[in-house]
């Protein structure tokens, strides 16, 4: 299996040069689902170890255009996890309370504690995406946010939070197919929002905003993974695979067992 493109500081990417329909060497859906099941099995064990080890947290940031598959990726990938050790946070239009704080306040609040996995369904990146596209704050203000995000993510990583950022990359044609599918299938109607049609008009502006966010916020401590996401089975398997590799790289271990002497003193009656 090919890994998704992982961005590197100073190496600019152009989204239009990166395929959205790559199969990443997974060939077809059945093969990818078998591979996903294997990844999930390993993730289950690693999550247990992450909890026992209690030194690190894993923060997964999911960003995508509308219909890009953030919810689907969460449903498939997180099905391998013990719910006690993970929290999924969806970032919506900021509430009154959130709006009177700095833009990172709500993100910081949702960062997972040590030993657990946190997933951001959208994130602090919305503050340089929709906010920029629709000019919700002045340019001078959002321009500063790239550095502020890098500083924030650096601080987290220095405090044991490992950050995995995924951009689920779909084509405009695939978005059209998915929007149509939501209208055609009555059980998917609820997912359709007129707002998505409105945002679709800004496709090019969003792609530019994403490109900048990815290029300006690719750091050694929190690079982006660009996941070809036209095929849902590729998307899910690549995300699970990257999470598994990240957790494996932490050299997680169980805390030191009790000594023989200590064990001999303890009597369970
Ligand atoms: P959904 O993810 O489909 O439930 O939609 C959530 C909506 O909230 C999306 O349109 C986001 O762009 C929007 N949103 C999330 N964060 C922000 C933010 N910081 N400012 C403005 N809109 C936001
Ligand atoms: Mg939506």
With contact defined as beta carbons under 8 Å apart, do 211 and 13 qualify? yes
The pLDDT value given to residue 80? 83
Task: Give the pLDDT score at 167.
Answer: 98
Determine the length of the chain.
Answer: 269
CB 237 within 8 A of CB 35: yes
d(CA 219, CA 12): 12
**Helical spans, DSSP H, in the chain:** 29-53, 70-77, 96-99, 105-109, 130-133, 139-158, 172-184, 194-200, 203-216, 232-249, 260-265
pLDDT digits (tens, 9 = 90+) for 196-252: 999 999 999 999 999 999 999 999 999 999 999 999 999 999 999 999 999 999 999
Determine the pLDDT at residue 3. Answer: 86
Q: Which residue's C-alpha comes closest to atom 20 of ligand 1? A: 93
Find all residues with CB under 8 Å of 220, minimum gap 6, and list them. Answer: 9
How many Å apart are CA 53 and CA 251, to the nearest integer? 10
- Cβ–ligand 1 distance for 261 under 6 Å, the answer no
Q: How far apart are CA 244 and CA 246, in angstroms?
A: 5
92 C-beta closer than 6 A to ligand 1: yes
Contact 4, 164 (CB under 8 A): no
Calculate how far, in angstroms, residue 38's C-alpha sits from the geometric centre of ligand 1: 33
Series of mean pLDDT values for 10-residue runs along the chain (269 residues): 92 97 96 97 97 98 98 95 95 98 98 98 98 98 98 98 98 98 95 95 98 98 98 98 97 96 95
Q: For residues 212 and 168, what is the distance between their CA atoms, to the nearest angstrom?
A: 15
Contact 73, 238 (CB under 8 A): no
Q: Which of 61, 66, 70, 92 to mutate to test the pocket of ligand 1 (most atoms within 8 A of CB)?
A: 92
Nearest ligand by distance to the CA of 129: 1
Mutation choice for ligand 1 from 105, 120, 122, CB with most ligand atoms inside 8 A? 122
Expressed in angstroms and rounded, the spacing between residue 26 Cα and the centre of ligand 1 is 32
As a three-state string, the secondary structure of 180-231 is HHHHHCCCCHHHCCHHHHHHHCCHHHHHHHHHHHHHHCCECCECEEEEECCC
- Which of 89, 91, 179 to mutate for ligand 1's pocket (most ligand atoms within 8 Å of CB)? 91
pTM for the full model?
0.97
Distance, C-alpha 11 to centroid of its chain: 21
**Which residues fall within 8 angstroms of residue 248, CB to CB, at 6 or more apart?**
46
Residue 126 CA to ligand 1 center (angstroms) comes to 7
Alpha carbons 61 and 65: distance in angstroms, whole number: 14
Ligand 1 contact, 45 CB (< 6 A): no
Three-state secondary structure call for residue 163:
strand
Contact status, residue 246 vs residue 221, Cβ threshold 8 Å: no
Nearest CA to ligand 1 atom 3: 66
């Amino acid at each position: 299996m090919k890994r998704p493109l992982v961005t590197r500081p100073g190496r600019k990417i152009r989204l239009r040069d990166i395929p959205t329909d790559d199969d990443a060497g997974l060939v077809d859906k059945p093969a990818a689902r078998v591979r996903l099941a294997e990844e999930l099995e390993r993730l289950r064990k690693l999550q247990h170890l992450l909890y026992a080890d209690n030194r690190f947290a894993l923060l997964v940031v999911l960003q995508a255009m509308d219909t890009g598959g953030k919810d689907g990726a969460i449903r498939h990938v997180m099905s391998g996890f013990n719910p006690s050790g993970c929290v999924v946070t969806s970032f919506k239009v900021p509430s009154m309370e959130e709006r009177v704080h700095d833009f990172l306040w709500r993100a910081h609040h949702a960062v997972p504690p040590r030993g657990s996995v946190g997933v951001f369904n959208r994130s602090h990146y919305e503050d340089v995406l929709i906010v920029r596209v629709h000019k919700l704050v002045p340019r001078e203000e959002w321009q500063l946010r790239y550095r502020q995000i890098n500083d924030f993510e650096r601080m987290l990583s220095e405090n044991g939070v490992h950050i995995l950022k995924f951009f689920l990359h779909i084509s405009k044609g695939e978005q059209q197919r998915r929007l149509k599918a939501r209208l055609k299938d009555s059980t998917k109607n609820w997912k359709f929002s007129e707002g998505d049609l409105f945002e679709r008009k800004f496709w090019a502006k969003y792609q530019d905003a994403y490109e900048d966010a990815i290029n300006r916020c690719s750091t050694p401590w929190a690079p982006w993974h660009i996941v070809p996401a036209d095929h849902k089975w590729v998307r899910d398997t690549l995300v699970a695979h990257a999470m598994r590799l990240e957790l494996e790289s932490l050299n997680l271990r169980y805390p030191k067992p009790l000594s023989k002497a200590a064990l001999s003193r303890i009597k369970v009656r």
